[in-house]
Amino acid sequence: MSIEDIKKKLSSGLVDDLVNEPSAHYVHILLLRELQSSAIFTTNGQDADITTVGISADDGLVDYSPVMMFKRKQTGSDRRKGKELQRNLINIQDTMNVNEMTQDSPESMLYGSAAGDEAISVTSRVMYDTAYSIRDSSVLIEEKFQNAPGDGFAKGATTAIREPDFIMPGTLFPCVVTLRDATFEELIFVLGVTKMNKRYGAATSRIGRMENHILGIYYGLEEGPANLFLSQDVARRLADPNGKITSENLNKVLYSPVLDTEKVKSLVKESFDEEIQTLNIKPLGDDEVKELVEHITAETMKTALEVQRAKASAFFQRVNGESKSKKKGSRGAKNE
């Protein structure tokens, strides 16, 4: 199938031109994020972000504490990569500074921006949610301590300094990135960012290497299963070798030292595909997904960004002008 045919197939989840009102066009990118080095996911600068949730087994409820990859850890990294690619490919000098973004750039028009000096702010049309590890944090977090360096070969006892919690390589995060009312060019851009971005969390110049496995692309009228559901459902499927999910089998999965990444990839897709059977969501075929992902290169991204640049700028100028006119008219009416 050609890229143009794939575009037509996705048409019910995309828009041809940018719209100012939500119109229920959704495209979902199903991912498995795989840590390939240690990473830091923390809010307070020290402790890993974790939560406590429960999974139902046939013989009772099993509670555990997965690691959380907060949505801002994902979107912040992807936005930096997107602006980096935008600067390189079409020479738009954009920034992550909230009030200084180039609001009519393709990246800012898609991921959102504050009002700044203009009359309007732009709402993000790329939807992220917090992702959860499949296994318990107790087998995923590594605490490290270091002593202050010095010149002497022999030193007295010193106070050890605890470094932030490190999430260990091999940690897996099933998740979905959703585009709402996006153009095909914007989908190409987000797929490119997802495919090329390799760093997440804190201190990414040294750690935080991540592989984003793109497992599926879906389109329709609504959002799909939540990330937490996917992580828990995969754990249940791993614990269900003979059609019965016991607390013992579930705990073996949750506290396992390693998981088979290829098996998990298959189960994440299986879980998502089964869950959308009752939803207004359809999948692209596996061969179509592979063809579209392989189509993403620097050259095709540049072409998509150039097309979207014109669309984004024209749309922003029109809506911003209309907003300024309304505000001017409102002030005039008050003065009369």
pLDDT in tens, 83-130: 999 999 999 989 898 888 888 999 999 999 876 666 578 899 999 999
Burial class (CB in 10 A: 0-12, 13-18, 19+), 133: buried
pLDDT band at 220 (very low <50, low <70, confident <90, very high): very high
- The confidence score (pLDDT) of residue 192 equals 98
- Cα separation, 82 vs 124, in Å, equals 14
Q: Which among 310, 281, 218, 222 has a CA at the least distance from the CA of 17?
A: 310
Helix axes 184-196, 286-295, angle to 10 degrees: 80
For residue 331, give both structure tokens: 């002030």
Whether the CA torsion 291, 293, 299, 303 is positive or negative: it is positive
Q: Which among 206, 209, 184, 185 has a CA at the least distance from the CA of 197?
A: 209
- The confidence score (pLDDT) of residue 243 equals 72
pLDDT band at 45 (very low <50, low <70, confident <90, very high): confident
Mean pLDDT of 12-32: 95
Mean pLDDT of 29-39: 97
- The confidence score (pLDDT) of residue 115 equals 64
Of 171-185, 233-247, 268-282, least confident by mean pLDDT is 233-247
Range with top average pLDDT, 2-16, 155-169, 229-243: 2-16
Helix (H) or strand (E) holding 174: strand 172-180
Tokens 């050609």, residue? 2
- Cα separation, 157 vs 69, in Å, equals 37
- The confidence score (pLDDT) of residue 121 equals 82
Q: Is the pLDDT of residue 249 over 80?
A: yes
Q: Cα angle at 271 between 270 and 277, to 5 degrees?
A: 90
For residues 157 and 168, the model is more confident at: 168
- The confidence score (pLDDT) of residue 216 equals 98
Q: Is the pLDDT of residue 155 over 80?
A: no
- Indicate the SS3 state at residue 143: coil
Going from the C-alpha of 95 to that of each of 79, 121, 205, the distances in angstroms are 10, 16, 19
Q: Which among 243, 244, 246, 286 has a CA at the least distance from the CA of 266?
A: 286
- Cα separation, 199 vs 211, in Å, equals 8
Mean pLDDT of 145-171: 66
For residue 201, give both structure tokens: 């969390």
- The confidence score (pLDDT) of residue 336 equals 55
- Cα separation, 23 vs 35, in Å, equals 35
- Cα separation, 223 vs 26, in Å, equals 7
- Cα separation, 73 vs 199, in Å, equals 10
- The confidence score (pLDDT) of residue 327 equals 61
